[in-house]
Structure 1
Amino acid sequence: MPPHKRKQSDAAMDDLSGTPKRGKLDSDRFHPNAHQVEEFGIVMRDFYPPEMSNERCESYNNGILERPIETLQKACEETMETRNSIKTNKAVVHWFKSDLRLHDNRALQRAYQVARDNNIPIIGLYILSPEDLTAHLLSAPRVDMTLRTLELLKRNLDEIDIPLYMETQYERKPIPKRVVDLCRRWGANHIFANLEYEVDELRREAKLVRLCAQNGINFEVVHDTCVVPPGLLTNQQGNQYAVYSPWYRAWVEFLKANPDYLEPVDEIGANPGDPRKHLKDLFDYMVPEPPKNKRLSDEDRERFRTLYPAGEYEALRRLEQFLEEKAQDYGQKRSMVAGEHTSILSPYFAIGALSARTAVAMARRANRNQLDRGEPGYRSWISEIAWRDFYKHVLVHWPFIW
């Protein structure tokens, strides 16, 4: 997405309790009804300020305030020359976040290519942040699913001699500095990660791009979560779609014209270099324990493990079974309470054990290579996967909606 230039604001911001000057936006004022969410207890005030005012929202729309994606783009552009001059060292790092899989993982594939081309090992990194789990209201079952999938991911990586270093960082603000410290400890001058489009994560990545560049490290973020990256679909006026139906038609036409966006990337192979010798200690790290406020009872733990077995291979198995047995009738039966007519894949999408790209590509193949034609059931399910893209496109363009 091309960067939007930030306009210079000539508005003098008054004190929050004061009155904005006539004709000028007072974008620092909170929304007048912000206290309501505190009364009902639906927002974690430990992590988030009161809701922004309509004037501040308008400042994003008018380009007075930078969107988080623009902050990241600006950081990447302003550090590009420095980052491009950085040479590889002893290792390459892939930072796993919401992409807990080997199959069809673009940032992981990019990291592997750099490692292979320079005959140096790749190191997997995962950081558990209890503050993030609490701030984002992630449920105990989701945390349990994440940690169980990490266990299988570690095992799968171990089979191809790739270590997965895991740790818990109780406070989230120091995470960028911790990532830099780990890269320096391992002699890694290149680190890759897939983009997360939420507001906090985009701002964190912008900070990390600059911090890494200052320390001689090239941090590259890769579009992977969405089938079509945010910013590529605009209406006739060149603006972000606000309504799903026209956006979906544009999404379908874009993929017809650019079928390579549905091509999954190759799964990585054996780790280059001699990781068992040079990175021996990194193979011994265990999956972190869940925070106390995210732990399941023994009974619930067994129940969710039965309902949702962990791992990317289980996700792919369920996807194949759904497309073969249920998808054709999905449009008619998806709302029926009696019976299991849905894919039951949402938990796997949420933690990144399955990519939306893989799901749409396989559904299209089952539907005789059609996205918006063919069997109604396939079409309906593809459109629901597309909705995940639409939400992230909207969030990136209007960050105050989240």
Structure 2
Amino acid sequence: MTAIVWFRHDLRVRDNPALEAACANHDNVVGVYLVPKHTFEKHLWSPHKMDLLWRHLQQFRTELEQLGILLKVKVHDSFSQSGSILSSIAEEFLATNLYANAEYPLDEVRRDRAVAAALKQQSIGCYFSHGMVLIPPAQVKNKQGEYYKVFTPFNKAWRSRVAELNDWAPSPPPSVAKSLEGQSDVLPECPLPRADTSHWPVGEQAVLSKFGQFVGHQVEDYQQNRDIPAIDGTSKLSAYLELGVISPKTVARSLQALSPSFPYGLEPGPDTWLTELAWREFYQHLMYHEPRLSRGENYQQQTQNIPWRDDKQQFKRWCDGQTGYPIVDAGMRQLNATGWMHNRLRMITANFLVKDLLIDWRWGERYFMKKLIDGSFPANNGGWQWSASVGTDAVPYFRVFNPIRQSERFDPDGSYIRNWVKELEAVPTKHIHWPHSWLKQQAENSYPQPIVDHGVARERFLTTFKQVKNG
């Protein structure tokens, strides 16, 4: 018997429950990866993310072939065609079952339901595992049987479920009894623009090696280093978790080895990193329980009527890193140049757009997705709603980041700013966080004046938000 494994955000061999189930129950397995061009455009896949995907697919194809599994890569228009394409492949290989790992945003849920219905007409079974998360959404509920709406109690309950897991031993790479005749598809031309990501390794082995380096040499200092953008203190694994090159189970297993009472008893660095994994799953769970988040709605419905400013000129200056606030501009220029931005800077730049400029968070959410190599719809949406104080677990609306104080705290000597804002390379450290008075004394000065007065902007936001809250 032959099975199809429909790969999506799970492009890996290890800790892939859909692949393991197919190999355990069938003699032959064929892998399929669908590239819906128009849907990817609608979902704002960035050129950096597309390039990383395309380079990894080439390696993944080889890794599957070594296990006797062919990989068919099909470029088409949209999610709506998934059922017909998979039906055709099932007919070609006489497949009896399809295996996949569940995804949780609304478009993906609808797509999977349509595929299951289409294959049922051919008497082909569909089996969905939960390889995208450690704990499936339906398994983290409070005593009333409801999902958690705030992170802290979610994290506590999520960890208690993690503690119940007892299958931490790494399974050997799955293999099939017989290799299908033929060859994997030659990777077609990428249908969307690509940006060079050659300095990001691809292939499961290379990514696992990168991961091992982080756990072995950096995770111990993660808690104190993760907020300092001038140093390499984060794992930079988010892009690989997003594509599914590495599994959350693989990540958790590495931490499980550090404490006999896992997920408890960890040192501060590993414990903080585990909390970041919990945040990732929290946003995945929210997407599952609240489909309206996939439609661009605020989680807190009473905030739907905020009168955002429709200022395209100021938005462009924010996008271009020309706000006159060095730490904000440094973050945006890093994003534009590399497709990645340090997480502390994601919070600072998002807070600035929403609360200093009073521009709709959805503008920023879309811009980030169009640029980020690790653009994850659930995490990006959750982060922006948090910054805008309109989401679950949102920052209290009266907490408005002061970008100058943030700069002084997290980039004290200005190293990060100087690296990305070249106009400020010569500015002394005592002036780097607010250089405008010093720059006026220089013969040449191309750095822009501040786009807004932070104190005035803060009061504008607080007044506006208070009226909406009390309205």
TM-score by length of 1: 0.70
Q: Does 1:291 align with 2:183?
A: no
Aligned to 1:375: 267
Distance 1:368 1:165, change over 3 A: same
In structure 2, distance between residues paired with 1:367 and 1:338: 30
How much does 1:148 deviate?
0.9
Aligned to 2:284: 392
Q: 1:213 is matched by which residue type in structure 2? A: K
Give the 3-state SS of the residue equivalent to 2:230 in structure 1.
Answer: coil
Aligned to 2:22: 111
Aligned to 2:3: 92
Give the 3-state SS of the residue equivalent to 2:97 in structure 1.
Answer: strand
Aligned to 1:272: 177
Contact 2:75–2:191 (Cα < 8 Å) also in 1: no
How much does 1:156 deviate?
1.0
Q: How does 1:135-150 map to 2 (within 5 A)?
A: 135-150=42-57
Aligned to 2:166: 260
In structure 1, distance between residues paired with 2:167 and 2:116: 25
Higher gyration radius (CA): 2
RMSD: 1.6
Aligned to 1:232: 139
Q: 2:277 is matched by which residue type in structure 1? A: I
Q: How does 1:57-206 map to 2 (within 5 A)?
A: 89=1, 91-115=2-26, 120-206=27-113
How much does 1:321 deviate?
0.8
In structure 2, distance between residues paired with 1:170 and 1:340: 39
How much does 1:348 deviate?
0.5
How much does 1:238 deviate?
1.6
Q: Aligned residues: percent identity?
A: 27
Contact 2:220–2:268 (Cα < 8 Å) also in 1: yes
Unaligned stretches of 5+ residues in structure 1: 1-88
Per-residue CA distance 1:299-333 (angstroms, 9 max, x = gap) = xx2xx211x11122122112111111111111111
Q: 2:174 is matched by which residue type in structure 1? A: I
Q: 1:168 is matched by which residue type in structure 2? A: V
Per-residue CA distance 1:337-388 (angstroms, 9 max, x = gap) = 2210111101110100000111011122134553233310010000101111
Give the 3-state SS of the residue equivalent to 1:305 in structure 2.
Answer: coil
Contact 1:148–1:310 (Cα < 8 Å) also in 2: yes
In structure 2, distance between residues paired with 1:273 and 1:337: 50
Distance 1:370 1:284, change over 3 A: closer
Aligned to 1:23: none
How much does 1:210 deviate?
1.6
In structure 2, distance between residues paired with 1:284 and 1:364: 37
Distance 1:328 1:367, change over 3 A: farther
In structure 1, distance between residues paired with 2:260 and 2:223: 17
Pick one of 310, 322, 332 that aligns with 2:202: 310
Q: Which has the higher contact order (CA 8 A, sep 6+)?
A: 1
Contact 1:241–1:247 (Cα < 8 Å) also in 2: yes
Q: 1:107 is matched by which residue type in structure 2? A: A
Give the 3-state SS of the residue equivalent to 1:260 in structure 2.
Answer: coil
In structure 1, distance between residues paired with 2:173 and 2:279: 26
Give the 3-state SS of the residue equivalent to 1:173 in structure 2.
Answer: helix
In structure 2, distance between residues paired with 1:158 and 1:337: 40
Work out the number of aligned pairs and report it.
Answer: 294
In structure 2, distance between residues paired with 1:247 and 1:180: 39
Give the 3-state SS of the residue equivalent to 1:224 in structure 2.
Answer: coil
Aligned to 1:55: none
TM-score by length of 2: 0.60
In structure 2, distance between residues paired with 1:264 and 1:272: 21
How much does 1:260 deviate?
2.5
How much does 1:398 deviate?
0.9
Distance 1:394 1:265, change over 3 A: farther
Unaligned stretches of 5+ residues in structure 2: 295-471
Distance 1:386 1:264, change over 3 A: farther
Contact 1:255–1:262 (Cα < 8 Å) also in 2: no
